[in-house]
Amino acid sequence: MVDTRPFTIALVAGEASGDLLGGHLLAALKERFPQARFVGIGGPRMISQGMESWWPQEKLAVRGYVEVLKHYREIVGIRKALRQRLLREPPDVFIGIDAPDFNLDLELALKRRGIPTIHYVSPSIWAWRGKRIHKIKRAVSHMLALFPFEPALYQAEQVPVTYVGHPLADVLPMQPKQGEMREQMRIGPNRPVFALLPGSRQSEVALHANLFVETVKRIADEIPEALFLVPLATRETRQRFEQAVYKCGAADRDIQLMYGHAHDAMIAADVVLVASGTATLEAALLKRPMVITYKLSRLSWWLMTRKMYLPYVGLPNILCKEFVVPELLQKEATPERLATELLRQYRDKTFREALVERFTTLHQLLRQNTSERAADAVATVLDSRA
């Protein structure tokens, strides 16, 4: 049903994964509320849906305690200015998409002034910082949870919550067609292909580029005909990775840098090396074997590990509640170990077939028509507001 009320819907998405969620959500909301105005902070997908982004999303896309501290004053300044503007021009609802360190304080201030707040993507209270749920209860009018085990945590604390599934499960194919993708990319059907995803942020690529390139060199020494596909999110991250290729003396290896097209690269690949984050879930939904890795500054890593509840950080392992794919993090993330594990998965057909079955079950569980479910929940909040 189309609602022509001229609602103002404010949103903040702090990074590329939030922009992906926000883009799908805005498309669903526009069908219900064609006269609505969308404002706040978003990335290219949200802007393409007609959102007015008052600050560049890149300003908020910083990960790691030390890295955040370097940009702390600027980020706090943006949040203060945004809060003042939203209190001066109150929206009908505010939707914080992930980025809990930025959004929860903002939601707390807005909710206190009578503005309904929706948080899209549950903070990882099941992994670390469990006490945060008390702040969430004060700050959030309604939680939209992506994973099926999350609603019970909020129901126990009497926080309104809706399980919406994950939008990637809706848009990614249940049975990726590797042969067709390789033909489209002009890659031979039997050629060994490895996809490398070092992260979407500049800080991630800066920490991972040399590690990934050194890993490539070791794999190429054993499989000279191997092709390495490296999808990168921005011009800056591409330049950083390209510099690492030359710095590490790997220009003679067959490394193909790509602007975007991460899904294409993963579908075409036999095995994926991926930095921990949403891309690990994408690889799982595309039924690809993978090695998950991540590096942080020493202080950021020390602070993070002190707060961890779970023994794993990769989403496929968290959702399956066991190590279905290996995680080589921080000191364990060496070129030798990464190359050894990637080659093992490439050569182990039985392992790959078992993963396809496991990841297919996971895909079915997460496929819930997420954007429509999320839009329904937002519409319910707007109706009560009206």
Q: Along the 386 residues of the chain, how does pLDDT read in single tens digits?
A: 688 889 999 999 988 778 989 999 999 999 999 999 999 999 999 999 999 999 887 767 655 544 555 656 878 888 899 999 999 999 999 999 988 888 999 999 999 999 999 999 998 776 555 678 889 999 999 999 999 989 998 999 999 999 999 989 999 999 999 999 999 999 999 999 999 999 888 889 988 999 999 999 999 999 999 999 999 988 899 999 999 999 999 988 999 999 989 999 999 999 999 998 889 999 999 999 999 998 876 666 566 665 665 577 889 999 998 999 999 998 899 999 999 999 999 999 999 999 999 999 999 999 999 999 999 999 999 988 76
Q: Spell out the CATH class of 8-165+368-385.
A: alpha beta
Q: What pLDDT shows up at residue 265?
A: 98
Residue 304 confidence (pLDDT)? 63
Cα–Cα dist 355/271, whole Å = 12
CB 62 within 8 A of CB 75: yes
Domain positions in the chain = 8-165+368-385, 178-366
Say if 8-165+368-385 and 178-366 have the same CATH topology: yes
For residue 317, which of 309, 326, 328 has the smallest C-alpha distance?
326
d(CA 94, CA 112): 13
Q: How far is CA 57 from CA 12, 74, 166, 296, 324, in A?
A: 9, 13, 22, 22, 33
Here the contacts of 76-80 (C-beta below 8 Å, separation 24 or greater) are: 78/41, 79/105, 79/106
Residue 341: name the closest of 218, 244, 251 by CA: 218
pLDDT at 69: 55
Per-residue model confidence (pLDDT) at position 200: 83
| Topology annotation, domain 178-366 | Rossmann fold (3.40.50)
